[in-house]
Structure 1
């Protein structure tokens, strides 16, 4: 397995260098895997049918937002943890903070140490434009 990448011209974040544009590596040729693809892959390496796996994954998918909205982080063992993060409008007095000051809600994912270590072993292959 290798992650495909290509060179992409972008503005340099370091303007002091005197260069405006530089080339940076970016992941390319990414393929999507949907729930059914994942379920079929799991069923090939287990005693569960694709339909059984799809049912569990669908139920699992519907439960994550439920737990996040119930003020929980969702820890998935060696996969990682989902949690909610909010950002909002700043005020001078903490008494002025209320729900109307919250401007956005985002779901974050923090991969586990095992996943991070596994991803550090990824191979790369450059593709042509």
Structure 2
């Protein structure tokens, strides 16, 4: 398999009127994989039942959510890490900063070595 992509023209960031436009690769996704699909695939490599696998996936989601909102980094070995980050307005001094300046909390994902290694060897195919 390969990662499909198309080419899109994009303006120069931060330049009024777009500046010099260039062409860039953009991933052309090839569908989605749901929990049902993942469950069926995992079942092929496991002695667990579909219900057990689904239960573990849902429980993992619940645990990750709980830990992230408590400011923890969730490390899943070769799968990668989930960690919280914040977006905020700035203040002139540290003393002037207050919680009302926080605009949003986000969850970030950093892939593990196995996923990064797989992406390094990915093949690409241009599509229209």
**Aligned residue number for residue 82 of structure 1:** 82
Indicate how the Cα distance of structure 1 residues 29 and 93 shifts in structure 2: closer, same or farther if over 3 A, else same: closer
Give, in angstroms, the shift of residue 13 of structure 1.
4.8
Give the match's secondary structure for 1:94: coil
More deviation, 82-91/22-31: 22-31
Query: 5 Å matches for 1:1-129?
Result: 1-13=1-13, 20-127=20-127, 129=128
Q: Distance in 2 between matches of 1:73 and 1:27?
A: 28
TM-score (normalised: structure 2): 0.87
Give, in angstroms, the shift of residue 20 of structure 1.
3.3
Give, in angstroms, the shift of residue 21 of structure 1.
2.9
**5+ residue gaps, structure 2:** none
The total of aligned residue pairs comes to 125
**5+ residue gaps, structure 1:** none
Give CA-to-partner distance per residue, 1:5-49, whole Å, 9 cap, x none.
Answer: 11222224597xxx7333221111421001111111000111112
Give the match's secondary structure for 2:62: helix
More deviation, 22-31/56-65: 22-31
